[in-house]
Structure 1
Amino acid sequence: MSNATKEFSVDVLLKETNEVFTVKNVTVQMTVETLKVNLEIIAGIPKPLQRLMYLDEGDMEDNSTLQHHDIVSGAKITMKIWRTWMHLIQACVKGELREVMKLGVTPDSEYQDPNSNFMGKERRIDWFFERQSVALYVSAHRGRVDIMKKLISKGADVSKATKCGRTALHVAAASGRDACVDLLLSYGAGELIKSEDNFGKTPLLLASEWGHKSSERRLFLFQWQVRASQMKADVSKSDKDLMAHQMFDSSLKTHLQGCQSQLYFSNVLPPQEFEGTALESKHSKHYHKILQSELKREKNSKKNGAIKSKAKRKVRLS
Structure 2
Amino acid sequence: MGRAEGGSRVRAGAPLEGAPDPNPAVGRLGRRGACSAGLGPLLAPPPAPASSIRASSPALALDQAPDVFAVRVLLEETGEMFQAASCRGDMTVRELKEELELLVGVPLDLQRLRYLDQGDQRSLKGQACGTGRKAGVLMDETTLKFHDVVPGGIISLCVWQYDGWTELVLAAVEGDPSKLSCLGVDEGSLYRTANSKHFEGERWKEWIAQRAFVALYITSHRGHPDAMQYLLEHGANCLRRTLLGRTALHAAAAMGRLDSINLLLSYGASVNDKDTRGETPMSIARRMNRRHGERRMFLFYWMTKSGTTDPKKLMANKAFHRAKSGFGSKKKSQI
Same-fold status (TM-score > 0.5): yes
Kindly report which structure 2 residues correspond to 1:129-140, keeping only aligned pairs within 5 A, or say none.
129-140=209-220
1:182 aligns with 2:262: yes
> Identity across aligned pairs (percent)?
41
The correspondence for 1:10, drawn from 71, 82, 106, is 71
The correspondence for 1:98, drawn from 168, 173, 178, is 178
Paired with 1:49 and 1:2, the residues of 2 have a C-alpha distance of 31
1:107 aligns with 2:187: yes
Contact 1:39 1:45 in 2 (8 A): yes
1:19 aligns with 2:99: no
Name the structure with the higher helix share: 1
Q: Which residue of structure 2 aligns with residue 211 of structure 1?
A: 289
Q: CA deviation at 1:228?
A: 1.6
Alignment coverage as a number of residue pairs: 228
Paired with 1:152 and 1:117, the residues of 2 have a C-alpha distance of 24
| TM-score normalised by L of structure 2 | 0.66
Q: Which residue of structure 2 aligns with residue 66 of structure 1?
A: 144
Q: Which residue of structure 1 aligns with residue 16 of structure 2?
A: none
Q: CA deviation at 1:229?
A: 1.8
Q: CA deviation at 1:97?
A: 1.4
Give 3-state SS (helix, strand or coil) of 1:195's partner. Answer: coil
Q: Which residue of structure 1 aligns with residue 59 of structure 2?
A: none
Give 3-state SS (helix, strand or coil) of 2:156's partner. Answer: strand
Paired with 1:118 and 1:101, the residues of 2 have a C-alpha distance of 21
Q: What do residues 33-71 of structure 1 show as CA deviations (whole Å, max 9, x unaligned)?
A: 001000000000000000001126443110011111110
Q: What do residues 159-212 of structure 1 show as CA deviations (whole Å, max 9, x unaligned)?
A: 0010000000011011100000000111111xx211110001001111111111
1:42 aligns with 2:107: no
| TM-score normalised by L of structure 1 | 0.69
Unpaired runs of 5+ in structure 1?
A: 231-318
Query: Relative contact order (C-alpha < 8 Å, sep 6+): which is higher?
Result: 2
Kindly report which structure 2 residues correspond to 1:76-87, keeping only aligned pairs within 5 A, or say none.
76-83=154-161, 84-87=164-167
After superposing the two structures, state which structure 1 stretch, 51-60 or 210-219, moved more.
51-60
Paired with 1:202 and 1:17, the residues of 2 have a C-alpha distance of 29
Give 3-state SS (helix, strand or coil) of 1:21's partner. Answer: strand
Q: CA deviation at 1:118?
A: 2.7
Q: CA deviation at 1:121?
A: 2.8
Q: Which residue of structure 2 aligns with residue 270 of structure 1?
A: none
Give 3-state SS (helix, strand or coil) of 1:24's partner. Answer: strand
Counterpart of 2:257, as a letter, is R
Counterpart of 1:223, as a letter, is Y
The correspondence for 1:151, drawn from 231, 237, 240, is 231
Paired with 1:130 and 1:13, the residues of 2 have a C-alpha distance of 25
Paired with 2:197 and 2:64, the residues of 1 have a C-alpha distance of 50
Unpaired runs of 5+ in structure 2?
A: 1-61, 121-132, 309-335
